[in-house]
Amino acid sequence: MWMAELAEQSGLSVPTIKYYLREGLLPPGEAVGATRSRYDESHVRRLRLIRSLTDVAGLRLETVRQVLEDVDGATSWQRAVGSAHTRLTPPLEVEPTAEATAIVAEFLRRQRWPFPQGNPLPGALARAIDGIQCLGVEITGDLLDAYGDAMRGVAREEIRSLNTEDPQHAALQAVIGTLLLEPILATVRRMAQEQIVMATDRSRLS
């Protein structure tokens, strides 16, 4: 297909697509003559992915580029997931409090989840806990354990659904799964909350 059709199929404007080409986010098409190029389905898919990562996952274009580079160079889906997490967990600007750090350490011990030194997730979790506790809401070990137990099952089901034979394709799926399933899980969580709200509202009225 030509550029005009690529724009139509992807829902993006021609200047935006040309920008992604210049920035190397989108691989070039097949050159036909000096000024025209042909594109195919893989370009449409790539553009949709870029758009989802910016619009749904809310990533900045520079982060999208890094994530896509990791996927393109991934030798296994394990590496792709790990690097996507690292890209998405910005370095801490403020150190977490000792209290939150201890809460996270105890939680990880109870869950038997070892994390190597330098992994950014435990620090990120401690900072998120600080952010809520300063609003006067206490984060209990029971709540964290409920999260840990629930997410253990969720992650297992998510990873089971990966096609792990083709590492390149699995890497892409793993990154999509890590980033783009989050809004689906968040919506299901709100649904579950509303169901409990409705149930307690009914019991209050009866």
The residues in 76-95 that bind a second copy, with binding defined as CB under 8 A, are 76, 78, 81-82, 85, 88-89
At how many degrees (to 10) do helices 61-73 and 167-205 cross?
A: 130
Q: Determine, following the binding rule CB under 8 A, whether residue 31 of this chain makes contact with a second copy.
A: no
CB nearer to a second copy: pick between 36 and 113 = 113
CB nearer to a second copy: pick between 61 and 128 = 128
Buried b (16+ CB within 10 A) or exposed e, 122-149: bbbbbbebbeeeeeeeebeeeebeeebe
Scan residues 107-136 and list those touching a second copy (CB under 8 A): 108, 113, 115, 119, 121-122, 124-125, 128-129, 131-132, 134-136
Q: Decide: helix, strand or coil at residue 31.
A: strand
Q: Pick the piece of the chain touching a second copy (CB under 8 A) from 17-25, 30-38, 66-74, 191-199.
A: 191-199
How many other β-carbons are positioned within 10 Å of the β-carbon of residue 44? 18
Q: Determine, following the binding rule CB under 8 A, whether residue 137 of this chain makes contact with a second copy.
A: yes
Q: Pick the piece of the chain touching a second copy (CB under 8 A) from 12-20, 27-35, 65-73, 193-201.
A: 193-201
Amino acid sitting at position 3: M
Q: Pick the piece of the chain touching a second copy (CB under 8 A) from 20-28, 30-38, 62-70, 143-151.
A: 143-151
Scan residues 34-63 and list those touching a second copy (CB under 8 A): 45, 48-49, 52, 56, 58
List, in sequence order, every residue forming a beta bridge with 52; answer none if it has no partner: none
CB nearer to a second copy: pick between 13 and 195 = 195
Cα end-to-end distance, the chain, whole Å: 63
Pull the structure tokens for residue 137: 């809401």
Q: What share of the chain is helix, strand, coil (3-state, %, to 5)?
A: 70, 5, 25
Q: Determine, following the binding rule CB under 8 A, whether residue 17 of this chain makes contact with a second copy.
A: no
